[in-house]
Chain A
Amino acid sequence: MKSISTQFHRRLMIRFSKLARNVAIALAIAIALFPFFWVVLASFKNHHDLMKVPPVLLFRPTLENYQVVTQEGFLHFFNNSAIVTLGSVALSIALGVPAAFGLSRIPFRANRFVMLLVLSVRFMPYIVFALPLFLIMANLGLVGTRGGVLFVYIIINLPIIIWIMRAFFDDVPRELDEAAYLDGASRARVFFQVVLPCALPGVSTITILSLIFAWNEYLFALILSGRDAQTLTVGLTRFLGGMETSVRWGTLSAWAVAIVAPVVLMSLFVNKHLRRGFTSDIG
């Protein structure tokens, strides 16, 4: 009799802890998602609904806030962001993937020095780069040009690409290259036709990661983009400066959604790749 009751008790406990766990997970997801959810909701509210206390969940949705996308220079900022992001990611991949291959496959003395350089750039406070870059670029007339900002974004992308791709290349068995070398293949051929194809998941991972980092960047853009090359993030805060009144909350929300939605959607679609990027360099 007693054993039956303890068994029942234990089962109850398991069920309860499972329930508690699910509730905790749901709560964590809710907290993680809430700001995004709320700004999407707010972007469809009219001025009146936005100011209601307590806040309303049910309201008549309006698209009027999204008119901002066609005005206030939004497209100009969007173009700048897109060009700077895509350009710097492409450039960083072109530079970083071969370098990662070299670091993984060619033994040389300064190898560690290069890795240390890569690592220090990755962990350096970015403001340390930003000031001197501002002075140098001002002298060269590069402040306020997309090319200048694009080039500076390499600081963010290149170290991550080299670091992560090196881990991916290290995972490709060396026997493959050796077989190819025995067949008389050149280094370039081994890189392009043997090792790189095996490390393609790594390439998509770093592409996604660096696209996100470059798109989200703020500090360099704030200091270096001058008047003509301002990105979406800078545009948003500039736009906010003059008109941080409740009247503009709706417009602000629409703008915020337009910046964040591409990144969030992309991250959901390729989440496994993304997670691998964040976790691949544990070692």
Chain B
Amino acid sequence: MIKHKRTTIPILLFIGPAVLVLTIVALFPIMYALFCSFWNWHLHRSTLREFIAFTNYINLFRDVRFLKSLGLTFLFTFLTVGGTIVFGFLLALLVWKPFRGKNLALALMTIPMIMTPVVSALIWKVFLFEANVGLINWLLSLFGIRGPAWIATSPWAFVSIVIVNIWFMTPFVLLIIEAALSGLPKETLEAAAIDGAGYWKRIHYIVLPMLKGTILFILIFRITIDYRTFDIIYTLTGGGPAFDTQLLSLWVYNVALRTFQIGYANAGATVMMVAVGLICFAILVVATRERRERWLSK
């Protein structure tokens, strides 16, 4: 290995600009959000601005609507992360063995993830979930079931956003697990098969343990991304009916841009950020040190 004497200048030249821009566009706004959260700050009435220390935070935990958003967000994240991992894993097993047209099949299965979320949500809303002429209720009517008004009534609105998000994100899990499966050592699996281990036994005792690192990676990805879901829900339900699908991102958006309480909204956003940070931290702590190392510094 060649030792370079000077590394300061190359670091500044190569990494400096990116770090500087990230600081301006990401770090500084977070600081600013923290700052705002200690103020009673109305978006359009600048005369009423006053420093109120932690009052916003105290109010948050008395705010039924905020607590409901928090609970709904956890439930939504739990359901969609679980759903996508189960479906993604089963699909990956399905396409594990090579077959003719596998690449095309994978390409087509990737499409939900590629499509503009706003557009997908709109299609689901207008053509599939629509109460009277929607396809889902038409299909149900073939079996003599009268389908609900999906988007407009509880709990179906919540069910709808979960369904659409699982549809949207399953390909992500599929692709990652598919790649991980094709990287598994064939010899081990063949040896187990010869020893008489059945299909599901091989999956349970050999494949799943080998995929642990991958599943950790998927968990972090899926949790953080579902936790912040905005576009799909905003388009599908707008948070309704009766705030039953108002997840945290929508809560922050509505408080900031509908009631203009910017300070309060920023306090909510801060709590949202800290909560997901703690969840990720907990997952990384539970994961073994070796995996954590590999993750942070490949």
A residues sitting closer than 8 Å to B (CB atoms) are: 21, 24-25, 28-29, 31-33, 35-36, 38-39, 42, 51-55, 95-96, 98-99, 101-103, 106-108, 111-112, 114-121, 123-136, 151-152, 154-155, 158-159, 162, 166-167, 170, 174, 178, 181-182, 187, 191, 212, 215-216, 218-219, 222-223, 233, 236-237, 240, 246, 249, 252, 256, 259-260, 263-264, 267-268, 271-272, 274-275, 278-279, 281-283
Q: Are B220 and A123 in touch, CB under 8 angstroms? A: yes
Given contacts A271-B103, A283-B294, contact A25 B95 (CB under 8 A): yes
B residues sitting closer than 8 Å to A (CB atoms) are: 1-2, 4, 7, 10-11, 13-15, 17-19, 21-22, 25-30, 32-33, 36, 91, 94-95, 103, 105-112, 114-120, 122-124, 126-128, 132-133, 135, 138, 167, 171-172, 175-176, 178-180, 213-214, 217, 220-221, 224-225, 227-228, 230-231, 234-235, 248-249, 252-253, 256-257, 262, 265-266, 269-270, 272-273, 276-277, 280, 294-298
- 18 A-B residue pairs with Cβ-Cβ distance under 8 Å, sorted by A, are A28-B94, A53-B138, A106-B11, A108-B11, A117-B19, A120-B277, A123-B224, A124-B26, A128-B272, A158-B18, A218-B230, A218-B231, A240-B122, A260-B116, A267-B107, A275-B175, A282-B176, A282-B214
Bound complex: CA A260 to CA B270 (Å): 34
Q: Are B270 and A128 in touch, CB under 8 angstroms? A: yes
Q: Are B120 and A35 in touch, CB under 8 angstroms? A: yes
Q: Are A135 and B32 in touch, CB under 8 angstroms? A: yes
Taking chain A's interface residues, is the majority helix, strand, or loop, or is none over half, making it mixed? helix
Bound complex: CA A107 to CA B91 (Å): 41
Given contacts A42-B127, A131-B256, contact A98 B36 (CB under 8 A): no
Chain A neighbourhood of B27, CB < 8 A: 117
Q: Are B21 and A216 in touch, CB under 8 angstroms? A: no
Bound complex: CA A25 to CA B127 (Å): 24
**CB-nearest residue of chain B relative to A167?**
B298
Taking chain B's interface residues, is the majority helix, strand, or loop, or is none over half, making it mixed? helix
Bound complex: CA A191 to CA B178 (Å): 33
Q: Are B213 and A283 in touch, CB under 8 angstroms? A: yes
Bound complex: CA A98 to CA B127 (Å): 46
Given contacts A29-B108, A103-B15, contact A275 B179 (CB under 8 A): yes
Given contacts A38-B128, A125-B249, 16 further A-B contacts (CB under 8 A): A32-B112, A35-B127, A99-B18, A112-B296, A115-B297, A117-B26, A123-B220, A124-B224, A132-B30, A135-B32, A219-B249, A237-B122, A256-B119, A267-B111, A279-B175, A282-B179
How many Å from the CB of B15 to the closest CB on chain A?
4
**CB-nearest residue of chain A relative to B107?**
A271
Q: Are A218 and B118 in touch, CB under 8 angstroms? A: yes
Specify which of A35, A52, A108 is in contact with B7 (CB 8 Å cutoff): A108
Bound complex: CA A130 to CA B26 (Å): 10
Chain A neighbourhood of B176, CB < 8 A: 278-279, 282
Q: Are B25 and A152 in touch, CB under 8 angstroms? A: yes
Chain A neighbourhood of B114, CB < 8 A: 212, 263-264, 267, 274
How many Å from the CB of B263 to the closest CB on chain A?
10
Q: Are A279 and B179 in touch, CB under 8 angstroms? A: yes
Q: Are B22 and A106 in touch, CB under 8 angstroms? A: no
Q: Are A55 and B138 in touch, CB under 8 angstroms? A: yes
How many Å from the CB of A114 to the closest CB on chain B?
6
How many Å from the CB of B125 to the closest CB on chain A?
9
Q: Are B21 and A158 in touch, CB under 8 angstroms? A: yes
Q: Are A135 and B262 in touch, CB under 8 angstroms? A: yes
Bound complex: CA A245 to CA B214 (Å): 45
Q: Are B123 and A35 in touch, CB under 8 angstroms? A: yes
**CB-nearest residue of chain B relative to A50?**
B133
Bound complex: CA A237 to CA B117 (Å): 12
Bound complex: CA A262 to CA B196 (Å): 49
Bound complex: CA A260 to CA B120 (Å): 9
Chain B neighbourhood of A25, CB < 8 A: 94-95, 105
Chain A neighbourhood of B276, CB < 8 A: 123, 125
Q: Are A106 and B14 in touch, CB under 8 angstroms? A: yes
How many Å from the CB of A64 to the closest CB on chain B?
18
Q: Are A121 and B272 in touch, CB under 8 angstroms? A: no
